[in-house]
Amino acid sequence: MPKKSSTPLPLKRFAVVGTGIQGTQIAMIAARAGYEVAVYDPRPGAFRQTFEKLRADLKAKKVKPLIPWNRWEECARKVRHLRDLDKAVARAELVLEAVPENLELKKEVWREIAAKAPPGAILATNSSSIPVSRLEGESGRPERVLNIHFYFPMQGVTMVDVMGGSRTLPEVLETGIAWVRSIGFVPLTVNKELLGFCFNRVWRAVKREVLFMWGNGYVDFQDIDRAWMIFTGMKEGPFALMDKVGLDVIWDIEMVYYNESRDPKDHPPQALKEMIARGELGVKSGKGFYTYPDPAFLRPDFIR
Q: What is the binding site for ligand NAD (CB under 6 A)?
A: 17-23, 40-43, 46, 98-101, 109, 126-128, 149-150
Q: Which lies closer to ligand NAD via its Cβ, residue 1 or residue 159?
A: 159
- The alpha helices in 9-146, defined as continuous H runs, are 21-32, 46-60, 72-78, 85-89, 103-116
Nearer to ligand NAD, 127 or 182 (CB): 127
The answer to whether residues 17 and 85 touch, using CB atoms and an 8 Å cutoff, is yes
Report the residue number, 199 or 292, with the smaller CB distance to ligand NAD: 199
- How near is the Cβ of 54 to ligand NAD at its closest, in Å? 10
Q: For the CB of residue 237, give the shortest distance to ligand NAD in the complex, in Å.
A: 19
Terminal-residue alpha carbon distance, the chain? 45
Whole-angstrom Cα distance, residue 146 to residue 192? 12
In angstroms, what is the minimal distance from the CB of 200 to ligand NAD? 9
Rounded to whole angstroms, the Cα distance separating 261 from 110 reads: 26
Distances (CA, A) of 150 to 147, 186, 197, 236: 10, 10, 11, 21
- Name the residue nearer to ligand NAD (CB basis): 43 or 61: 43
DSSP annotation of 9 reads P
Cα–Cα dist 293/291, whole Å: 7
**Strand 145-150 versus strand 159-164 pairing type:** antiparallel
Q: How far is the CB of 218 from ligand NAD (least distance, A)?
A: 29
Q: Which is nearer to ligand NAD, 29 or 99 (CB)?
A: 99
Give 134's Cβ-side CA count (13 Å radius): 15
> Measured from the CB atom, is 9 or 125 closer to ligand NAD?
125
Distance of CA 63 to the CA centre of its chain: 18
User: Shortest approach of ligand NAD to residue 22 CB, angstroms?
Assistant: 3
Shortest distance in whole angstroms from residue 211 CB to ligand NAD: 19
The smaller minimum CB distance to ligand NAD, of residues 18 and 184, is found at 18
Residue at shortest CB range from ligand NAD: 20
* Nearest distance from C-beta of residue 184 to ligand NAD, angstroms: 18
Degrees, nearest 5: CA angle 3-8-9: 100
CA–CA separation, 3 and 171 (whole Å): 26
